[in-house]
Structure 1
């Protein structure tokens, strides 16, 4: 069973909770710096705990990745839902797509899994994340289609796959954020309705 503050059978002791939070904090930093293949032993050392403590809380690398990313996926979904009230549907869509790409860039190595897991199969929790982010992205895209700021032919799956592809293509660039922004601009330009079409 994966041990989390909310999912453990018994409440954590105060010292165990502190260790858990320190490990999560250092994992966020390490994953952002080195991707999800960052050294677990180094994460434990930076958190000031023994490697055994890390493995008691997170028996596998995936357990640690899921604990870190779960919070970020929730934030991304909440951002998308808040943007449903943005009057400019093109701005709302662009803002969320940019946030989704930045999310994937922050945790290099997981962008393909998060964006494509529901299609390709895989970890159940990652699939649930995909479903949540897909639903939010699709809703924002639908609003943009309905308002006429995005071409009616834009398919949800195609657009969100391209978002994953942008993150993958930009992750090894000298300036990944700038590269991703250029590619996203090309995507957004391509989504505009063709004025020559009825």
Structure 2
């Protein structure tokens, strides 16, 4: 039976999770755990007492990242304009990527967690935009995953340039207006 954590242990665990959020956002999921412990102001042994494996620490922040991404999709779904909803979702996803390397590595590119709700929302965003005639018919959810993956690399390589890349990629997704006969 698990006993509740002492108050100091609760503070240490919270400090470690907060530090992990920051360090992994800056340096990615392969950041040294020593950097997390140092940022939290605790010894590495304290980190390992709370999180015996790297995956345990990552799991502590993964759910909130998935929840944040899912919320972005929900907000995009309520916009009346289907194209604006899709663009809003993609842009806010790319903004998250630009400031949080772990977001991309854990949420966008990972297949280790069940993200069925976010997957369903992305499918609906695609279908809505295609139904409105604003998204190319040959674009699917996997293409959006590639869009996001590509943009993450731009954000990493040239942090100030991701919005330009984002705009260029949007042009590639948009349905061409019907040509007069």
TM-score normalised by the chain length of structure 1? 0.78
The 8 Å contact of residues 65 and 103 in structure 2, kept in 1 or not, is answered as no
Match for residue 151 of structure 2 among 154, 160, 166: 166
Query: Which runs of 5 or more residues in structure 1 are unaligned?
Result: 1-7, 119-125
Gap change, CA 1:60 and 1:132, over 3 Å in 2: farther
Alpha-carbon shift at residue 113 of structure 1 (Å):
5.7
Gaps spanning 5+ residues in structure 2: where?
Answer: none
Distance 1:197 1:160 in 2: 29
Say whether residues 1:138 and 2:123 are aligned partners. Answer: yes
Note the 1:148-187 alignment, pairs <5 A: 148-173=133-158, 176=159, 178-187=160-169
**Residue in structure 2 matched with residue 3 of structure 1 by the alignment:** none
Q: Distance in 2 between matches of 1:88 and 1:110?
A: 27
* Coordinate RMSD, CA, aligned: 2.4
Distance in 2, Cα, partners of 1:102 & 1:64:
24
Note the alpha carbon deviations across 1:34-80, whole angstroms, 9 max, x for none: 22222211221221222111112212222222222321220110121
Compute the displacement of 1:197 (Å): 5.8
Q: Is 1:79 equivalent to 2:72 in the alignment?
A: yes
Residue 44 (structure 1) aligns with: 37
Aligned counterparts of 1:15 and 1:55: Cα–Cα separation in 2: 16
Distance 2:84 2:165 in 1: 16
Query: Aligned pair in 2 of structure 1 residues 136, 180: CA closer, same or farther (>3 Å)?
Result: farther
* Matched length: 180
Decide whether the 8 Å contact of 1:149 with 1:193 is kept in 2: yes
Among 87, 91, 99, the alignment partner of 2:84 is 91
Residue by residue over 1:137-163, the C-alpha shift from the partner in whole angstroms, topping out at 9 and shown as x without a partner, is 222122111112212221111222221
SS at match of 1:127: coil
